[in-house]
Structure 1
Amino acid sequence: MIPRSPVAPRIAKLTALGVGVAFLATACGGTSTPSSTETTTAAASGAIACPAPAAGAPAPEIPAAGTVPASTTTTETPLKIGSLLPSTGSLAFLGPPEIAGVNLAIKDINDAGGVLGKPVEVSHLDSGDTTTDVATQSVTNLLGQGVSAIIGAASSGVSKTVINQITGAGVVQFSPANTSLDFTTWDDKGLYWRTAPSDLLQGSVLGNYAVSCGAQTMGMIVLNDSYGTGLAKTVKSSFEGAGGKIVAEQLFNTGDTQFNTQVDAIVAAKPDAIGVITFDEGKSIIPLLLGKGIKPEQLFLVDGNLKDYSKDFAAGTMTGAHGTLPGTSAGDAFKKSLLAIDPSLTDYSYAGESWDATNLVALAAEAAKSTKGVDIAAQLQAVSKDGEKCFSFGQCVTLIREGKDIDYDGQSGPVTFADSGDPSEATIGVYEYSADNKYKLVKEEFGKL
């Protein structure tokens, strides 16, 4: 297996990303621009008429591992994995499914005999958000425990505060949910990885889908951090590239609680569609928009706020609103397995990416015959490509122990890492809200980055 080079050709990779997304942008949401008749009708009425649903296939079910051969190499130092995932802060709703995904993977790994003859150990600590120093304290604690890899953070902004601390210690940082473009070119010593695709892909899908729904103009309310502004930039590029126009863009900062000024400015521009690029602040912003006469079908949400609003809003509030989320839709069997870990789950966002990240760390440790972070990182790309396809830890580790190269694909879809540590191919789900204020899959867009 060929290890990933610690110093990657960053400029060449970024160029390749742009080419891949440009190709996908012409293919999503039916035709790239609506007909003049469709556009005039939608704009005049304020209504959005999106293409008919065409849902993709769910992620593969977890295959039975069968009899897993014992490792021929044993370690005196067991693999220790930490998680840095949100139980507080503006992304706290993402914590439960991500933590459940990690715990399910740990259970599967240990049921299959663990890594290098020892059970894997896991420690969960809170990431908080960028308004606190919780993440730094948690990372210090995890590094003190001797972890080889940290799964997290969910927030790109939080990851920026700790990435140098983690990678500088020779530990793998593996995020299931970071989408900021900045990490593609970060000087991470080959130790930062993610199973979520960069916002080049999600922004392209969202912008093009809004145009395919008949929107000619769009306003955006945007969280002023690397996640929000980066995603807004790609949404704008794809929306305007497909013939639309951004007529208003309003920023707010993490920790803000009043959004009337931003909402009033957006509504005054009379856009056909509104991109709500926020985290949990969406719970405050959405009612303000609807109270000003905006219809729910004019709203286009993103992964940071695509959530179950059934306990937040009156029934019917979100009917027809849209949103995007990286990754494939969780299959029923995977959801059942997650619920066995955490029966209180109502959201499954990034659970698959968290399960995959944990499995990949464990498989890379087996391939490296080492539990050291730098050795694990050197094998992460190799276990994701150019080998025999496999879809679970038990199935994949059996092949490794038989001396075979593997190509792991998981619940988030094909992984196949680029030199940057980014997935080089990914799926973005497009969702729509029903009268119960819960979102359902409309279609899936697959793209290579």
Structure 2
Amino acid sequence: MGVFTRSRAGSILGGIAVVGVSAVFLAGCAGDSGGGSGTTEPSESLDLKIGTALPVTGNLAFLGPPEIAGTEYAASEVNAANAGVTIEMIQGDSGDTDNKAYETEIPRLLGEGVSAIIGAASSGTSLQFIDQVVGAGVIQFSPANTSAAFTTYDDNGLYFRTAPSDTLQGEVLGNLIAESGAQTLGMIVLNDSYGTGLASFVKDAFEAAGGTVVAEPTYNTGDTNFSAQVSEVVAANPDAIALITFEEVKTILPELFAAGVPADKLYFVDGNLSQFGSNGIDVGGSLEGAKGTLPGLSIDTITDFTDSLNTFWVDEGNEELTEFSYAAESYDAVILLALASLAAGSTDGAAIADKLVEVSGGSGDGEKCTTFAACAEIINGGGVADYDGISGPITFDDVGDPTEASIGIYQYTADNDYVAYE
């Protein structure tokens, strides 16, 4: 299994993960959900409303089910703990920058009096409504935004994310491609803050390793024809091709295969790494040997969580999950919001935001805990909790970015599904 792990506060803990290299984990990265000891009941319970603006529609809709499931599962565990916070989840659709579902959904969620909105998954979509959300004194908390733009964004201290900046994913992917022996690289890039940002970090890493980027055509959200981009990249005859896209990859892949591009030259990213085989999606050929990166701990290390999540989701009347990208990050977002609300003794957005760094372990020298129930017991007993989540330690810095993160490396098999890269 390949995993690259870094702590922003320290040095790189390991080089690029390649064949035969074991995963490197930071202490306390993976705690199973559920369980925990009983809590000390507070005198009264806080009624916390959390909205979501996750992709039910749009070019990241395949990420909607695992993310939404993660939020609902976390809320169910918070409510079952009876530890001083009761969550009402109000689900909404972010859509994308083409269908603009957020234009009606964000005002609806704000009108419901939510303290926080979880979403969007797409960085470009989040940037369309962040000012509206934080301007209303409401927290925006994304489980999947990776654009570096958010690190310095003027968000009134109300924006947080459990996914790391693409400076790390770009470094990992660029080096992974270089380690494969490629000397030249072509890229097809979504023209938004996520796509162009990630592409620039991939390019920097690949060129620093001695490679050359020979083509990097872009396209816009809503485009349906990618022949020009495919032709430009194929004509450059690169040793490898990085597809920095969202769901549009389903249309791009058949054209690449028709042009004779072998799968082992292809590299995916979090925006398009999908279980195509399990989802019955025909991409025009075999992906066996293609590789990709996805922020977060390798999925095969959190199977207790994914199994429990799937059971919960199906029991709620939904179809079985086939994707788990950003499910853990979505779950952790809800747990952190509930803990911060409990620590603040308030459902006010600014008051919760003031406690989010503390409950993540970014300040306060808190006691480690890995479930809502265990952390709530610490808080209700007068202590400071330091939550280590399913997605990792998290540990926010003062701008709401996680300071410790892992990038999983995956490879496609003959059935067009991906597994951890061995």
Tell me the TM-score normalised to structure 2 length.
Answer: 0.91
Question: What amino acid does structure 1 have at the position aligned with 2:355?
Answer: Q
Deviation at 1:120, TM superposition (A): 1.2
| The one of 331, 336, 339 aligned to 1:363 | 339
The superposition leaves residues 182-202 of structure 1 with CA deviations (integer Å, 9 ceiling, x where unpaired) of 111111000000000010010
Matched, 1:104 2:73: yes
**Aligned residue for 2:355?**
379
Answer whether contact 1:59 1:329 (CA < 8 A) is retained.
no
Work out the CA distance in 1 between the residues paired with 2:345 and 2:43. Answer: 9
Correspondence list, 1:181-260, <5 A: 181-260=148-227
Matched, 1:435 2:414: yes
| The one of 304, 309, 321 aligned to 1:345 | 321
Q: Percent identity?
A: 51
Matched, 1:163 2:130: yes
SS of residue matched to 1:338: helix
Work out the CA distance in 1 between the residues paired with 2:323 and 2:224. Answer: 24
Work out the CA distance in 1 between the residues paired with 2:237 and 2:374. Answer: 54
Correspondence list, 1:370-409, <5 A: 370-385=346-361, 386-409=365-388
- Where does the alignment leave 5 or more consecutive residues of structure 2 unmatched? 1-5, 315-319
Answer whether contact 1:307 1:438 (CA < 8 A) is retained.
yes
| The one of 58, 67, 70 aligned to 1:89 | 58
Tell me the TM-score normalised to structure 1 length.
Answer: 0.86
Answer whether contact 2:7 2:403 (CA < 8 A) is retained.
no
Correspondence list, 1:314-353, <5 A: 317-330=286-299, 331-343=302-314, 344-353=320-329
Cα 1:20–1:240 shift into 2, 3 Å: farther
SS of residue matched to 1:381: helix
SS of residue matched to 2:360: coil
- Where does the alignment leave 5 or more consecutive residues of structure 1 unmatched? 1-17, 31-50, 444-449
Cα 1:324–1:250 shift into 2, 3 Å: same
Cα 1:306–1:225 shift into 2, 3 Å: same
Deviation at 1:347, TM superposition (A): 0.4
Matched, 1:66 2:37: yes
Cα 1:122–1:433 shift into 2, 3 Å: same
Answer whether contact 1:55 1:442 (CA < 8 A) is retained.
no
The superposition leaves residues 361-382 of structure 1 with CA deviations (integer Å, 9 ceiling, x where unpaired) of 0000000000110100000001
Cα 1:413–1:367 shift into 2, 3 Å: same
Work out the CA distance in 2 between the residues paired with 1:62 and 1:19. Answer: 23
Identify which range, 55-64 or 137-146, moves more after superposition: 55-64
Work out the CA distance in 2 between the residues paired with 1:73 and 1:322. Answer: 51
Answer whether contact 1:390 1:406 (CA < 8 A) is retained.
yes
Q: Which runs of 4+ in 1 moved over 6 A?
A: none
Cα 1:242–1:361 shift into 2, 3 Å: same
| The one of 419, 425, 433 aligned to 2:398 | 419
Answer whether contact 2:44 2:84 (CA < 8 A) is retained.
no
The superposition leaves residues 144-192 of structure 1 with CA deviations (integer Å, 9 ceiling, x where unpaired) of 0000011111011110011000000000100000001111111100000
Question: What amino acid does structure 2 have at the position aligned with 1:379?
Answer: K
Work out the CA distance in 2 between the residues paired with 1:155 and 1:109. Answer: 27
Deviation at 1:293, TM superposition (A): 1.2
Deviation at 1:341, TM superposition (A): 2.7
Answer whether contact 2:257 2:285 (CA < 8 A) is retained.
no
| The one of 144, 164, 169 aligned to 2:111 | 144
SS of residue matched to 1:285: helix
Matched, 1:27 2:27: no
Answer whether contact 1:163 1:173 (CA < 8 A) is retained.
yes
The superposition leaves residues 284-329 of structure 1 with CA deviations (integer Å, 9 ceiling, x where unpaired) of 1111112111111111100000001111127961101100000013
The superposition leaves residues 308-364 of structure 1 with CA deviations (integer Å, 9 ceiling, x where unpaired) of 111112796110110000001342211121112323200000000000000000000
Answer whether contact 1:195 1:357 (CA < 8 A) is retained.
yes
Cα 1:25–1:227 shift into 2, 3 Å: farther
Matched, 1:154 2:142: no
Cα 1:21–1:258 shift into 2, 3 Å: farther
Deviation at 1:20, TM superposition (A): 4.8
Deviation at 1:244, TM superposition (A): 1.1
Work out the CA distance in 2 between the residues paired with 1:62 and 1:316. Answer: 38
Deviation at 1:114, TM superposition (A): 5.2
Answer whether contact 1:315 1:436 (CA < 8 A) is retained.
no
